[in-house]
């Protein structure tokens, strides 16, 4: 099965409405807390052993696998007897993660070693991937590990991450890692089959959506709230899908509650696939599109939205309002008149100057600021559509 599928290019399969993890040269597999940890706070060892066996077999066939694993907070909370699964306060979550992570790492190391595969731990904070230099560093380390045959097991470094600078959920972390390492695919193993038209627990008519070619506001409206032990619900999974797509990675949400989840997905196709757009942006733009934090927002008019969609730069004339405090080169969101973010870019002017240039023609820049270093508020090379 794996050998046959691996002859087919991944894009051809996705084009046909399929996405087979087996054809990915580099694959990120995210494992959620509720799959990995029982309500009593124990690792579901037999379940994980099966999954690790499947991943190790793929690794042996030459596929490069990266695991993003949750579970540290849920495990550690039980060991420390903390309320609310360790999520009552940031300090609880940090302490729980410190205890749970060491156990998690040990379990992965043992299980992979049983198949002759070296596991490697990588603990990342949001900033490690938001800062371009650190992002490149993370990517170089992950590259080196997978090329040397190891399987990185990645989690957020919850013990040092503070509330303001956290991913908070591993769905987005997995997508961002997928983007950083230029994975072909990201699989989110979840306690649910995929995205449904409604909440399947409450709505008997809710049906599974097998393919989401584009993330529309209607699709986003179908995502319910957060459930289960982990912190990511469908909302964070859709945000992950957006990050993955902007990074040129295909993504799928599939159930991990079945035997051999990856093989079942390959043979039966049960899950929700989010294909990457055909033309993925260049590497620097991928990093920009996947950023989670921005320093400010420029609200632009309809004409400017159209111009950006045609690949043009953002000129001051199309900017209606500026919010936030930013320096030149900081990352800012660009929103249409309805407030919906349509693009993201590196500011060509600091926020105090951007405010003064709102609605002005480019030839007026010198008169307004006393100098005119550049015509565009954001140059098209520094801008990515979302």
- Interface residues toward ligand GLU, by CB under 6 A: 33, 70-74, 97, 155-156, 158, 169-170, 230-232
Which C-beta is closer to ligand GLU: that of 6 or that of 101? Answer: 101
Burial zone of 235 (CB within 10 Å; 0-12 exposed, 13-18 middle, 19+ buried): middle
**Can you tell me the distance from the alpha carbon of 185 to that of 30, in angstroms, rounded to the nearest whole number?**
11
Is the Cα dihedral 93, 98, 102, 105 positive or negative? positive
H or E element at residue 16:
none
Which C-beta is closer to ligand GLU: that of 23 or that of 74? Answer: 74
**Can you tell me the distance from the alpha carbon of 187 to that of 126, in angstroms, rounded to the nearest whole number?**
20
User: Cβ 44 to ligand GLU, closest distance in Å?
Assistant: 14
Q: Provide DSSP, 191-252.
A: SSSS-BSS-TTT-TT--B--B-SS--HHHHHH-----SSSS--HHHHHHHHHHHHHTT-EEE
Which C-beta is closer to ligand GLU: that of 72 or that of 117? Answer: 72
Which C-beta is closer to ligand GLU: that of 105 or that of 357? Answer: 105
Residue with the CB atom nearest ligand GLU in the bound state:
230
User: Cβ 72 to ligand GLU, closest distance in Å?
Assistant: 3
Residue 237 in tokens: 């999974």
User: Cβ 369 to ligand GLU, closest distance in Å?
Assistant: 45
Which C-beta is closer to ligand GLU: that of 159 or that of 246? Answer: 159
User: Cβ 37 to ligand GLU, closest distance in Å?
Assistant: 8
User: Cβ 156 to ligand GLU, closest distance in Å?
Assistant: 4
Is the Cα dihedral 216, 218, 220, 223 positive or negative? negative
Per the CB < 8 A criterion, the answer to whether 66 and 72 are in contact is no
Which C-beta is closer to ligand GLU: that of 105 or that of 365? Answer: 105
- 62 torsion bin: left (phi>0), alpha (psi -120 to 50), beta (else): left
Neighbours of 323 (CB within 10 A): 15
User: Cβ 71 to ligand GLU, closest distance in Å?
Assistant: 5
Contacts 24+ apart (CB under 8 A), 196-203: 196/222, 197/222, 198/222, 198/224, 199/224
Selection from 252, 231, 324, 248 nearest residue 290 by Cα: 248
Which C-beta is closer to ligand GLU: that of 76 or that of 296? Answer: 76
Which C-beta is closer to ligand GLU: that of 230 or that of 248? Answer: 230
Which C-beta is closer to ligand GLU: that of 120 or that of 365? Answer: 120
**Can you tell me the distance from the alpha carbon of 186 to that of 334, in angstroms, rounded to the nearest whole number?**
27
Neighbours of 208 (CB within 10 A): 15
User: Cβ 87 to ligand GLU, closest distance in Å?
Assistant: 9
């Amino acid at each position: 099965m794996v050998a046959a599928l691996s002859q087919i290019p991944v894009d051809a399969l996705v084009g046909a409405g399929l996405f087979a993890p087996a054809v990915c040269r580099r694959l990120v597999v995210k494992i959620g807390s509720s799959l990995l940890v029982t309500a009593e706070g124990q690792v579901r060892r037999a379940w994980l052993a099966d999954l690790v066996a499947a991943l190790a077999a793929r690794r042996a066939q030459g596929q490069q696998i990266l695991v993003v694993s949750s579970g540290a907070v849920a495990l550690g909370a039980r060991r420390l007897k903390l309320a609310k699964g360790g999520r009552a306060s940031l300090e609880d979550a940090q302490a729980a993660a410190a205890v749970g992570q060491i156990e998690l790492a040990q379990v992965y190391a043992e299980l992979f070693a049983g198949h002759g595969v070296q596991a490697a731990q990588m603990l990342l904070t949001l900033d490690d991937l938001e800062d371009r230099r650190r992002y490149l560093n993370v990517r170089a380390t992950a590259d080196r590990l997978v090329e040397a045959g190891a399987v990185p097991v990645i989690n957020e470094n919850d013990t040092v991450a503070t509330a303001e600078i956290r991913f908070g959920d591993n769905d987005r972390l997995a997508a961002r890692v997928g983007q950083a390492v230029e994975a072909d695919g990201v699989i989110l193993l979840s306690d649910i089959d995929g995205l449904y038209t409604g909440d399947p627990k409450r709505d008997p008519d809710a049906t599974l959506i097998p393919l989401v070619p584009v993330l529309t506001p209607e699709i986003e409206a179908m995502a319910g709230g957060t459930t289960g032990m982990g912190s990511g619900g469908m909302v964070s999974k859709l945000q992950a899908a957006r990050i993955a797509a902007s990074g040129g990675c295909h993504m799928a949400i599939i159930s991990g509650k079945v035997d051999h989840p990856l093989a079942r997905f390959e043979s039966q196709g049960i899950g929700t696939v989010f294909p990457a757009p055909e033309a993925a942006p260049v590497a620097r733009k991928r990093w920009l599109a996947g950023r989670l934090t921005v320093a400010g927002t420029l609200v632009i008019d309809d004409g400017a939205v159209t111009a950006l969609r045609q690949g043009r730069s953002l000129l001051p004339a199309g900017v209606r309002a500026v919010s936030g405090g930013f320096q030149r080169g900081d990352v800012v969101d660009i929103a249409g008149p309805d407030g919906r973010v349509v693009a993201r870019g590196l500011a060509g002017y600091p926020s105090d100057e951007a405010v003064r240039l709102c609605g002005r023609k480019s030839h007026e820049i010198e008169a307004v600021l006393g100098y005119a270093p550049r015509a565009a508020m954001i140059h098209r090379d520094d801008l990515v559509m979302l």
